[in-house]
Amino acid sequence: MRALAALRFCTLRSCPERKAQAAHWFHSKWRVPEQAYLDCMDAYLSDETEYGWYLCLDGDRIVGGMGVIANDFHPRKDLTPNVCAVYTEEDWRGLGIAGHLLRLVAEDLRAKGIDTLYLLTDHTGFYERYGWEFLCTVQADGEATPSRMYVHRA
């Protein structure tokens, strides 16, 4: 039986050797250019931004992850920063990995003075389990239908 206790949760700053692997992994899930992930990760690793990247590892395998960026491809520039690229491998779903990562993100950013986070998604009901509240709908860039914008306040 798989358990959270067997997994390692980390910020990319605590495991910078995973940068290339993480950029490739996120690209494979979301099809955003790998270089875009590398650029964001480099900014985080060089302390240009506190908006970071968070991973869940099973040994050397990334099984979950998410990032924080200023804007997740939508016109509401006032709703910042955005949790983005939330993904858990299908064979690891249902164990609370995303919830654990969401808490890690909120705690990490709250310690840096950032207490309000936003997240754009098509999911309904998932993020509420972790203290997120529906805020409004937002038309994401290049999308035909509006998505749901959630907010998390510490």
Q: What is the pLDDT of residues 29-79, one digit of tens each?
A: 999 999 999 999 999 999 999 999 999 999 999 999 999 999 999 999 999
- DSSP state, residue 124: S
Domain boundaries, the chain: 4-153
- With beta carbons less than 8 A apart as the criterion, state whether 52 and 84 touch: no
- Using CB atoms within 10 A of its CB, is residue 29 exposed (0-12), middle (13-18) or buried (19+)? middle
Q: pLDDT tens digits for 71-103?
A: 999 999 999 999 999 999 999 999 999 999 999
Residue burial 37-58, b: 16+ Cβ < 10 Å; e: rest: bbebbeebeeeeebbbbbbbbb
Is 75 in a helix, a strand, or coil? coil
CATH 3.40.605.10 fits 4-153, yes or no: no
Diameter of the chain by CA atoms?
Answer: 43
Q: Model's pTM, two decimal places? A: 0.95
Tokens of 134: 């529906």
* Residues 6+ away with beta carbon under 8 Å from 125: none
